[in-house]
Amino acid sequence: MDTQIQQLIKKELERQENDLEMIPSENFVSLDVLKALGSVLTNKYSEGYPGARYYGGNEIIDQVEQLAIDRAKQLFDAEHVNVQPLSGAPANIAVYFALLEPGDTILGMDLGHGGHLTHGHPVTHMSKIFNFIRYKTNAEGDIDFDNLRQMAIEHKPKLILAGFSAYSRHLDYKKFKAIADEVGAYTMADIAHIAGLIAGKQLENPVPIFDVVTTTTHKTLRGPRGAMIMCKQALAKKIDKAVFPGLQGGPHENNIAAKAIAFAEALQPEFQDYCKQILLNAKALEKKFKEKNYSICFGTTDNHLLLIDLTNKNITGKQAQSALDLAGITINKNAIPDDPRGPMDPSGIRLGTPALTTRGMKQPEMEYIVDLIDEALTNHENNDKLAEIRAKVHKLTAKFPLYPSLKQE
């Protein structure tokens, strides 16, 4: 193998092993998922769908993709699933093109209030094609449904989008649905962050309620990097045509096989225990951060993540991320609602528990980690201190081996 890349993979494995991975959208896949990603399935072209392909030699591939579809349907109680989207952004874009005409209006959550770039941020191409109107949270950190309803009546959206990448509260899907029905809009949920928690039966499942639900497969769901779209049978043809040939070419079947494996793993009862622990760990972080006078955006967490406003700690999100990187704790700088600072150096940080929970860490470790984070942020300009904390981090992670068999290879 290319020794330069081999060395870099080895170093990245060491980084993942040694450091504390707290970016809430990241996780550690199983060895079976890793093997499928590196399998011969990567060699095959398979434009089309099971039973209707444009290339020969797809008898086995059809079975792989059908397994992924059937398992996803079972996991989320879905009428129809498309497992081909390469990632979250193309999945969302495919839905917009499947259901809407250029110029149509979409109501989506504001990025600064926890929404996602692909939900209509002005920097995206989609914002030039569709008319996105963005709704926000109120002072209590809840979605302001009265305001959302007024906006829906005023702007007459064709699609109302529920979903987030930095929001820590439960979403009331039935309220979204009632407003959408009142104005004749489609309902779309982007459950990328919480798909695992839904599959693990810890959070409400919007799939039976909404018209369309998109998700990535690599966050709490703990599968390979990729996405899928779930929808009502009546929309199946439109969604499938929008993904292929509308937006994508050949699907990545190695990745689809890895999705199928992850779905089978998530169907096991142990996955529900894993998800319960993700939530307990997030609550443990919240309690300890609050004891140390950290300001938790949206008031609390109902899921796996915390958005923390660092304004009262006199440190910016960028400074915090850099200091924690030196301390071996990986989080990301993040805008807080109506952030007065810019996106490259915002006022907050975002962190979460899915990856650490995969390693087997529980509440006592979470409490200790908040101590380490607090120590690092308090001493963010002291590199010696940050190196000391990094040593403590490595002592902790050594007790929770990640991929021992890969290390020996």
Positions touching ligand DSN (CB under 6 A) are 25, 88, 116, 165
Which residue lies nearer to ligand DSN by CB, 88 or 108? 88
Closest CB to ligand DSN among residues 41, 95? 95
| Minimum distance, C-beta of residue 103 to ligand DSN, in the bound complex (Å) | 26
Which residues are known to be catalytic?
A: 45, 47, 190, 216, 219, 225
Cβ proximity to ligand DSN, 49 vs 298, nearer residue:
298
Distance of alpha carbon 51 from the chain centroid: 31
CA 61, CA 74: separation in Å to the nearest integer? 20
Residue 368, CA distances (Å) to 12, 24, 202, 338 in order: 25, 18, 25, 31
H helix runs in 164-268, sequence order? 173-183, 195-199, 236-241, 253-266
In the complex, the smallest distance separating the C-beta of residue 317 from ligand DSN, rounded to whole angstroms, is: 14
**Beta carbon of residue 22, minimum distance to ligand DSN (angstroms, whole number):** 12
Which amino acid type is present at position 332? N
Comparing CA positions, the residue from 321, 312, 317, 371 lying closest to residue 348 is 317
- The rounded radius of gyration (Å) of the Cα atoms in the chain is 21
116 or 313: CB nearest ligand DSN: 116
The CB-of-398 to ligand DSN minimum distance in angstroms stands at 27
Q: What is the DSSP pairing of strand 305-309 with strand 348-352? A: antiparallel
Which element (helix H / strand E) includes 281?
A: helix 269-291
Would you call the peptide bond into 245 cis, given omega within 30 degrees of 0 as the criterion? yes
The residue among 58 and 220 lying less far from ligand DSN, judged by its C-beta, is 220
CB of 165 to ligand DSN, least distance (A): 3
Asked if residues 210 and 187 have their Cβ atoms less than 8 Å apart, the reply is yes
Instruction: Determine contact, residues 393/372, Cβ cutoff 8 Å.
Output: yes
